[in-house]
């Protein structure tokens, strides 16, 4: 019995040695009959413990070994086809939170701020200038591309394009995410959108207004391609607006007529309603019920009058827009004014008749 105990002890020792060895990542096969069982149990236990510890902590890209900030900045500029001044573009990526963090660090270390020059400047100035340019150019471009679209619609499209989510999405896919110096990680959408505006500001500062506008035209405006612009502007009463617009043009009031219907008594009913003005068809649209079809037909008619139908020519972007000349002072009509004029006229007519 003692012999067997000794033997089992020795065996146990050997096993512990082997488990120690297997603590390293590579596991060699050792020809022992019970070895595979132990190995399996060991690997299962390690897997369980790894899951308990949780996933790998998300780190900034700069924390990995293969990172060189200067070369990344250089590559960023070249990738976009722009020649930046290094100081400007570096400034564009510095967020105010980073500046404050640096200040706090230096205060902690006991360094006197008066002695050392604090070079870091955050990107808020560049971002402001960039934001102004983006806003202005987007509106000017849209007003020139859609000259008959109402001002409210232009503003709606502008708000969509210049929104935080859109600009942060663009910034992320240009490669700003890894270059940003800020306290928050993962980078917030607000930081990303501000960085994008700062980049545009940097282009404006280094290369001039025309190049900055080309930049906006190449990155911000193509995001309209997959979007229906008429859906961005919410019109509450399309029929009312249509009546006012037709009166403005000098055509007769809109008359909706049922064109075709199918399966009127079923769930899958379909009605086609056409809107006529002076006995001429303006637009037609289908719908699940007559009211829906009428409303959609009114919207279609408005689209036709504003020249923003689905069959309109595409936006002038890329190389086609190299020699594009825009009228910066163009003003589009306002829908609210049109409605106001129409209804005030109606009131006058009513009071006159009364």
Partner 1 sequence: MTKNLIPQDFLKNVLQNGVGRYVCQLQRITFRFCKSHGASRHMRDFIENHLLGFSQKNPGVAVYLQPRRHRAPSIVAEYLNGYREVLFLSDKQPSEICKWTEHLRTRSGVQIVKMINNIHTETPSTQGIWHPFMFTDTEWAVTKFPNKKLSSVLKTGKTATDIILDEQTEALTEGVKHCQINNK
Partner 2 sequence: MAHSRVTQWATMTRTWWIYDANYQCPFKTAYRLLPYLQGLNKPVYHSDSDVGDHVVVFNTKHIAMRGDFWRTFKHFHHTKFAGGFSRASAWRVHEMDPTRILERAVYSCLAGVETRKMMMKRLHLYPEEDVPEKILENVTGQIRQVQIVPKKLTDYSQEEIDKFPKLFEYPEDYDVEGYKRENRQEPDQHTSMKWRLK
- Interface residue list for partner 2 (CB under 8 A): 228, 230-231, 260-266, 268, 270, 272, 285-288, 292-293, 296, 299-300, 310
- Among partner 2, partner 1, none, the one that 259 touches (CB under a kind-dependent 5 to 8 A) is partner 1
3-state secondary structure of 144: helix
- Among partner 1, partner 2, none, the one that 81 touches (CB under a kind-dependent 5 to 8 A) is partner 1
Nearer to partner 1, 21 or 79 (CB): 79
From candidates 97, 129, 151, 286, binder to partner 1 by CB under 8 A: 286
Q: Is the dihedral of CA 277, 278, 282, 287 positive or negative?
A: positive
* Long-range own/partner contacts, residues 38-46 (CB < 8 A, 24 or more apart): none
Containing 205, the helix (H) or strand (E) segment is: helix 189-207
Stretches 14-22, 68-76, 120-128, 183-191: which one binds partner 1 (CB under 8 A)?
Answer: 68-76
- Among partner 1, partner 2, none, the one that 211 touches (CB under a kind-dependent 5 to 8 A) is none
- Among partner 2, partner 1, none, the one that 170 touches (CB under a kind-dependent 5 to 8 A) is partner 1
Distance separating alpha carbons of residues 142 and 72, to the nearest angstrom: 34
CB of 298 to partner 2, least distance (A): 12
- Among partner 1, partner 2, none, the one that 40 touches (CB under a kind-dependent 5 to 8 A) is none
How many other CB atoms are there within 10 angstroms of residue 29's CB atom?
8
Q: Cα dihedral angle (335, 341, 343, 347), rounded to 10 degrees?
A: 170
3-state secondary structure of 111: coil
Contacts of partner 1 in 77-136 (CB under 8 A): 78-81
Note whether 338 binds partner 1 by CB under 8 A: no
Distance separating alpha carbons of residues 199 and 196, to the nearest angstrom: 5
Within 8 A by CB and 6+ apart from 249, the residues are 305
Within 8 A by CB and 6+ apart from 274, the residues are 256, 257, 259, 281, 282, 283, 284, 297
Distance separating alpha carbons of residues 212 and 235, to the nearest angstrom: 33
- Among partner 1, partner 2, none, the one that 178 touches (CB under a kind-dependent 5 to 8 A) is partner 1
Binding mask 163-182 for partner 1 (x = CB under 8 A): ------xx-xxxx--x----
From candidates 137, 141, 149, 219, binder to partner 1 by CB under 8 A: 219
- Among partner 2, partner 1, none, the one that 37 touches (CB under a kind-dependent 5 to 8 A) is none
Note whether 318 binds partner 1 by CB under 8 A: yes
Is the CB of residue 293 less than 8 Å from the CB of residue 271?
A: yes
Nearer to partner 2, 92 or 273 (CB): 273
Binding mask 241-280 for partner 1 (x = CB under 8 A): -----------------xxx-x---------x--------
Distance separating alpha carbons of residues 320 and 211, to the nearest angstrom: 15
Note whether 160 binds partner 1 by CB under 8 A: no
Angle (nearest 5°) at CA 96 between 92 and 100: 135
Q: Is the dihedral of CA 101, 65, 76, 171 positive or negative?
A: negative
CB of 28 to partner 2, least distance (A): 55
Residues near partner 1 (CB under 8 A): 65-68, 71-72, 74-76, 78-81, 169-170, 172-175, 178, 217-219, 221-223, 225-226, 258-260, 262, 272, 286, 310-311, 314, 317-318
């Amino acid at each position: 019995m003692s012999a067997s105990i000794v033997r089992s002890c020795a065996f146990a020792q050997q096993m512990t040695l082997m488990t120690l060895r297997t603590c390293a990542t590579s596991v060699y096969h050792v020809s022992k009959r019970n070895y595979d069982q132990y190995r399996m149990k060991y690997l299962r236990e390690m897997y369980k413990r790894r899951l308990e510890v949780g996933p790998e902590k998300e780190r900034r890209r700069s924390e990995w070994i293969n990172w060189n900030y200067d070369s990344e900045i250089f590559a960023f500029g070249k990738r976009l086809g722009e020649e930046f001044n290094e100081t400007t573009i570096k400034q564009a990526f510095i967020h105010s939170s980073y500046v404050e963090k640096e200040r706090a660090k230096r205060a902690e270390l006991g360094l006197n701020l008066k002695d050392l020059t604090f070079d870091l400047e955050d990107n808020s100035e560049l971002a402001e200038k960039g934001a102004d340019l983006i806003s202005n150019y987007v509106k000017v471009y849209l007003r020139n591309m859609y000259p008959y679209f109402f001002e409210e619609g232009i503003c709606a499209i502008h708000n969509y394009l210049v929104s935080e989510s859109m600009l942060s999405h663009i910034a992320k896919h240009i490669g700003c995410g890894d270059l940003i110096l800020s306290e928050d990680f993962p980078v917030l959408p607000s930081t990303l959108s501000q960085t994008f505006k700062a980049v545009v500001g940097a282009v404006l500062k280094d290369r001039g207004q025309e190049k900055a506008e080309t930049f906006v035209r190449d990155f911000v405006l193509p995001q309209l391609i997959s979007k229906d612009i008429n859906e961005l502007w919410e019109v509450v009463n399309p029929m009312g607006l249509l009546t006012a617009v037709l009166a403005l043009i000098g055509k007769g009031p809109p008359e909706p007529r049922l064109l075709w219907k199918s399966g009127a008594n079923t769930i899958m009913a379909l009605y086609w309603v056409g809107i006529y003005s002076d006995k001429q068809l303006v637009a037609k649209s289908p719908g699940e019920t007559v009211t829906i079809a009428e409303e959609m037909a009114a919207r279609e008619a408005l689209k036709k009058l504003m020249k923003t139908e689905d069959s309109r020519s595409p936006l002038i972007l890329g190389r086609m827009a190299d020699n594009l000349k825009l009228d910066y002072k163009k003003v589009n009509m306002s829908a609210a004014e049109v409605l106001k004029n129409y209804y005030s006229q109606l009131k006058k007519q009513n009071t006159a008749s009364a």
